[in-house]
Amino acid sequence: MSPQDESYWQNTNQRRRFDERRGRLDVWLDALIYFGLGQQLLLALPSLWIVFQTLRTPVAVSTAAIVSLAATSLTIAVSRLGLVSVGPPWTRIEENSLGLGRDAGYGFLVRRAAVLNATLGLSTFAGAFVDANGGGLLGSIVVSGGLTAGALLALPTARAAPRAQSLAVRAGYYAVALATIALYGQVFDLSIGAPSAAFAFGLVCLFAGLDLWMDR
């Protein structure tokens, strides 16, 4: 093999390895940003609105919300890439058709919105509570991130359980999450919060109710 041929194959192999690394990076960015953060910012907008207009310990709440958003994006990414196998695949929004089927169409988006809104609100306010009561930033990260990852990994398993058990587990989870959002977010105290927060909370309740109603 001539020096020119050897140089050619070395350059070809280097380009191939670079393309492979870039391909893996593109897949991770797609899973983290498009499927994780992007859909979260869209579907969990009601809880995000409540979180970022909350006047109680706003710095602690904002910090916990960022941790929850990051933990959600990472959990969705590892699930989508097959590193963890739970529940149905995290499909693109445009792949869903009209209708309120049990696990297809916009019904699937309603289920997804219910989980994302409840989880974001619960993990954010729980993390903020720990932070403001002596747990500090590390406590907020552990609680907010742990609740987020645990919920997103456990709820698909609960959904696959027998109907009565699945409904009981999810109803209990939603009840705790909604109570936490309502109390810590002070959504009904119009003297200190934005009236739109009460409307946003109503949307969160609607998503959770529809998720349970579709399994009636």
Band (186; pLDDT cuts 50, 70, 90)? confident
Which one-letter DSSP state was computed for residue 93? G
CB 99 within 8 A of CB 47: no
With a pLDDT cut of 70, the percent of the chain lying above it is: 77
CB 215 within 8 A of CB 163: yes
* pLDDT exceeds cutoff 80 at 168: yes
Q: What is the DSSP string of 9-27?
A: HHHHHHHHHHHHHHHHHHH
> What tokens were used for 208?
């959770």
Q: What number is the average pLDDT over the span 136-163? A: 89
* pLDDT exceeds cutoff 70 at 18: no
Q: Give, in order, the Cα–Cα distances in Å from 96 to each of 87, 99, 124, 140.
A: 17, 9, 29, 35
How far is 205 from 200, CA to CA, in rounded Å?
A: 9
What single-letter amino acid sits at 71?
Answer: A
Q: What number is the average pLDDT over the span 123-144? A: 93
What is the CA 120 to chain-centroid distance, rounded?
7
